């Protein structure tokens, strides 16, 4: 097993995988949720709902985040990142950039619905720590 280089990380994160988005609530209990994501220019982009989803409330309450993205087949690969996401202005184009990674037509339908949700938000997270591994590489 060896770490991936930046080009390998970028290629791996360009594939349409779900991430596991982990937060901690106000009582100190961990919470994890699968989310769509976009990796762009060294930053993660996520979307969730501020009031209807616990993860949105956790981040709004100051929770740090851990994100895990892993392959489902051998040789296993993974990227894990830690950071503090910031809420950024919700735009249709960024919601489309995230959602259409998981299917063009379904992504467009989802984005139209998401733009009508008043508590739909976007997060941007520059990783403070990023770990990767590829079991297909020798270290």
CATH number of the CATH domain containing 79: 2.30.110.10
pLDDT at 60: 83
Query: Beta strand 43-49 with 65-70: parallel, antiparallel or unpaired?
Result: unpaired
d(CA 54, CA 120): 13
Domain that includes residue 47, residue range: 6-134
pLDDT digits (tens, 9 = 90+) for 87-125: 998 999 999 999 999 999 999 999 999 999 999 999 999
What pTM, to 2 d.p., does this model score? 0.93
Asked if residue 1 belongs to a domain, the reply is no
Q: What does the mean pLDDT of the chain come to?
A: 94
pLDDT at position 127 over 90 = yes
Asked if residue 69 belongs to a domain, the reply is yes
pLDDT at 65: 96
> pLDDT category, 85, cuts 50, 70, 90?
very high
Q: How many domains does the chain have?
A: 1
Asked if residue 139 belongs to a domain, the reply is no
Query: Sign (positive/negative) of CA torsion 18, 22, 114, 45?
Result: negative
């Amino acid at each position: 097993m060896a770490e991936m280089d930046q080009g390998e990380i970028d290629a791996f994160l360009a594939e349409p995988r779900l991430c596991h988005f982990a937060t901690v609530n106000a009582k100190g209990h961990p919470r994890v949720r699968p989310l769509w994501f976009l990796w762009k220019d060294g930053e993660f982009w996520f979307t969730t709902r501020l009031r209807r989803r616990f993860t949105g409330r956790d981040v709004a309450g100051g929770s740090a985040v851990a994100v895990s993205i892993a392959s489902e087949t051998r040789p296993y690969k993974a990227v894990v990142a830690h950071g503090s996401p910031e809420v950024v202005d919700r735009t249709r184009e960024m919601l489309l950039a995230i959602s259409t990674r998981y299917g063009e037509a379904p992504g467009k339908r989802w984005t139209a619905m998401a733009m009508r949700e008043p508590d739909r938000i976007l997060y941007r997270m520059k990783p403070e720590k990023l770990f990767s591994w590829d079991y297909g590489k020798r270290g």
